[in-house]
Structures are given as structure tokens and as C-alpha cells.
A and B are shown apart, each in its own frame.
With several copies, the nearest count.
Chain A
Amino acid sequence: MSIADTMINDATIDEARPALLRALEAVIFAAAAPVTLGDIAAHVGERGDLATLLRELAESYAPRGINLVERGGRWQFQTAPDLAHHLRPAREAVRKLSRAAVETLSVIAYHEPVTRPEIEEIRGVAVSGGTIDVLMEAGWVRPAGRRETPGRPLQYATTPGFLAHFNLSSRRDLPGLADLKAAGLLEREPPRELALPFSGENE
């Protein structure tokens, strides 16, 4: 593509921007589920830098009661979290996750893809039946292929639904992820330079 072509294209896009933003809004609003860039492009056409436009649109919605958010590469509208008190059904029991389920979920989220033996090693107990099922039923955890090691154990990972449910744009937004990584706590083996634990033994 020549420079002239690029310029012409850019001009066209600039002119079409408001219309494109409107189309983006409408497509994401009408979608039955969070949509990827590809889904959006399939509906509005491959025009301009959709990712940039989406971020711009999200910004314009930020102060509103409805927000445009990205969850694991998928875009959706949702209500602003601070307005929950207007929207919560008066009496609805939140289904409590068991402690084992929460722990298993965080192990999968921070270590994915992770095998069941690894989950058991980290938690120090066998994963009881019903824990992973519950997480899969909630749509937060999925089987993620087999590891190419002896026994070819099944691995687990989180889903876009997990990110959406916990209002995470991506796995990078997992709370404390960077710190845990820096501390070597997401490795499978202790880092060699880990402080000696029995420094107090000779005190």
C-alpha cells in the first residue's frame, strides 16, 4: 500500500469514526455474550484500529452507570460496580464457594495450566471430587489439554467466564500476580536464593 493510499484510508476512517463508534456500541450491546475483536470486525467490517476505538469508547463510558469493559479479550457492557446496591435482588442467597473450591480456583488461576497432582501438592491435600466439577459448572475452569509428560495428565485453566465474573480484564490483573511471580511463589520449585528458613535455630 502506498503512502498516498494510507493517507486516503486514514482520512476515510477519520470521517467514518463517529459512525464506527456507534456501530461498535450497538454490536457489543446486542451481543448475547462478550465479543472478541474478531466477532466485532465480522459485524462492522475491518475498518480502522478497532482496539483503539474500543478503548476510546470504554473511556467515554467510564463515568456512566453502564461501563464498557474488556474481559479476557472479550468486550461487554455491564453496570458500574458501585451501583450494585440499586440492582441487587432484595433477597438472593449468594452461593458460597467452599474454602477448598476458592483455594483450588486460585491455584488454577495463578498457576495455569496446572494438573490435578500439582493442585494437590500446592494445597497439601487431595482434591476431593466435586471441587473441580463445581468450578467447571460455574464456567470458570476448563480442561486445557494434557501435559506431555509420563501419564499425560490433564491440565486445567481458567475461562473467559472466570475473568468476566471477577471483573478482570486479563490474567495479568489477578490480584498480587506480579508480587507472587517476583517472589518465585508461582514456580514449581523453591528458588535457591530463598532465605534460609531456620535462621533462628542457632539463636
Chain B
Amino acid sequence: MGDDPFDTPPRTPAQTLVLQLGAWEGPLDLLLTLARSQRVDLAQISILALVDQYLAFIRDAKALSLEIAADYLVMAAWLAYLKSALLLPPDPQAEPDPHDMALKLQFQLQRLAAMRDAGAKLLARPQQGWDTFVRADPEGLMFETTARYDTSLFELLSVYGAIKARNSKSIHVVRRRAVMALDEAIERLERLLGASIDWTELSRFLPRDLADEGYARSVLASTFVAALELTKLGKASLSQGAAFAPILVRARE
């Protein structure tokens, strides 16, 4: 199985790096490892010694002509600068203060170490699903929601009042339907007029004794308009002696 050429992953430059530097997760990790080789208590390490250790490590790696990732080289350059700044006579103008920079580096190393330690302790704790177990299939909690309707008597009554009001309006609509439609009036007037060529008062063609005053007015209006229509159609002639005088109508040949 191991002979299968397809099992062998292709070699890449990145892998060359893995061989040497892959044990570390970046320059800070490498620095932390070097610092720990110095002392267990990171608060007591010598930054200058640490810088020397790091630079020596990078130099050796270069001697092996391995490719070194850029971030490791950047860190090397920065540490070389820090070392020279720390060795120079203190310059109060120096910004940032190299001692602060060293302090910060130490802080970062301590913090990273603390987080590593915390991660290990976390994993050492009893874990759910491995050390502790919860119910596999709980029923679950639910609520039976029941609706309670809230309506006031006022609302009930005013709504009923509104329905009644609406209905009384609709009765009014019914009365308006008790009209003589124009078509009906034309047909009626034409029939009553027949072939009469005598002038006759239009009012004489109105039905008598209409109890419903509204209907009577409707008939009057419709009959008048019907007379106009018939005249327009050339079936009748209209005549009125003066304003408000009786309107006369007769059939036309």
C-alpha cells in the first residue's frame, strides 16, 4: 500500500518549511519554546538571551539553506533592532522606549503561554457527551395556548347599532328602486299617445291616485323626459304657451 505512488503527496516548498519550522505556529510560538528552554517562569527570562537564541536559530536554518517564511525573518529583523536598542546607552528621546518593547514582548509570551495552559486545562475538564451525559430524548416543554377573547358590551352594541343603521339606509335604497325607469316611461307614453294628433296635456298621461309621493314624482319626471325623447325621435311634438303653462303633447305622423 505504501508503494502506491499516488499515496505519496507531492513535495512542495511549503513542506520543506514544515520539516524545520512546522513544529511552531509562527515566530511567537518559536520564541515561546526558546524562552521555556531558558526558564520555566517566563517572568524571569532574559530578553537579550532570547533574542540571541532566536537569531541563532534562524541563522542555523539559513545554513541548512531552508526556505524560511517571511514572518520569521521579519521577527528576526525586529529582534535584532530591539537588541541593539537595548544595548545602546539609554536614550530618553527613543520612541518607542526599547524597554517598553521588551516588556511588551515578554507580556505577549506570558499571555500566549497562559492561553495554551488554559486550553489544556479546559480540555482536561469533564466534557459533555464524554464524561457527562444528558437525557437522550427529552419530551420538551410546551405551552397550551388558549385564546381568551376580549370584547366589551359597548363594542357589541355599537356594532349592532351600526348594522341597523346600515339596514335603514338600505331600506332607503329600496324606495329609490320604486321609480319608473325612463325606458318604461317611453314605452308607456308612446303606447298611450297612440296616433292621437290632438294636443293633450302631458299631465293627463300620468297615472292617477299614486299613493307613493316619491313614485309619483319619479313618474312625472320620467314621463316628461320620455316626452322629450319621443320628440327628439320625431314621434311626438311638444308645445308650451308660456313659462309654467301646461305642456301639451301629440303624436306626429
Contact = CB atoms under 8 A, between A and B. Distances in A.
A8 interface: no
A80 B132 CA distance: 6
Contacts, number: 303
A76 interface: yes
Interface residues of A, number: 77
A166 B148 contact: no
Interface string B1-42: 000000000000000000000000111110000000000000
Interface in A70-102: 76-81, 84, 87-97, 99-100, 102
Nearest to B168: A186
Contact of A110 (B108, B118, B143, B174): B118
A194 B114 CA distance: 15
A187 B161 contact: yes
B130 to A, nearest CB: 6
Given A27-B141, A196-B99, A110 B147 contact: no
6 contacts: A99-B25, A99-B159, A168-B153, A174-B122, A193-B166, A199-B166
Interface residues of B, number: 82
Given A102-B119, A106-B122, A200-B171, A79 B150 contact: no
B28 A125 contact: yes
A43 B141 contact: yes
A124 B127 contact: no
Interface stretch (B44-52, B88-96, B191-199): B44-52
B167 interface: yes
B23 to A, nearest CB: 11
B130 A31 contact: no
Interface string A27-68: 101111101000100110000000000000000000000010
Contact of B133 (A30, A99, A180): A30
Interface of chain B, helix or strand or loop or mixed?
A: helix
A166 B153 CA distance: 6
B48 A91 contact: no
A106 to B, nearest CB: 4
A164 to B, nearest CB: 6
A5 interface: no
A17 interface: no
A190 B161 CA distance: 10
B145 A197 contact: no
B125 to A, nearest CB: 5
A34 B145 CA distance: 22
A198 B126 CA distance: 40
B65 interface: no
Contacts of B160: 103, 106-107, 109-110, 180, 185
A30 B134 contact: yes
Given A27-B141, A107-B160, A197-B46, A138 B118 contact: no
Contacts of A77: 134-135
A19 interface: no
B125 A175 contact: yes
Nearest to B29: A124
A177 interface: yes
A93 B45 contact: no
A109 B159 contact: no
Nearest to A111: B115
A157 interface: no
Interface string B87-122: 000000000000100111111101110111111111
B46 A201 contact: yes
B182 to A, nearest CB: 18
B141 A164 contact: no
Given A31-B140, A91-B145, A166-B127, A78 B133 contact: yes
Contact of A137 (B120, B142, B147, B174): B147
Closest 6 CB pairs of A and B: A124-B28, A190-B107, A106-B160, A200-B46, A185-B161, A81-B126
Given A88-B144, A125-B29, A197-B173, 18 more contacts: A30-B134, A30-B139, A31-B136, A78-B128, A84-B131, A88-B143, A93-B147, A99-B159, A107-B115, A168-B153, A181-B161, A183-B110, A185-B161, A194-B106, A197-B106, A198-B102, A199-B46, A201-B48
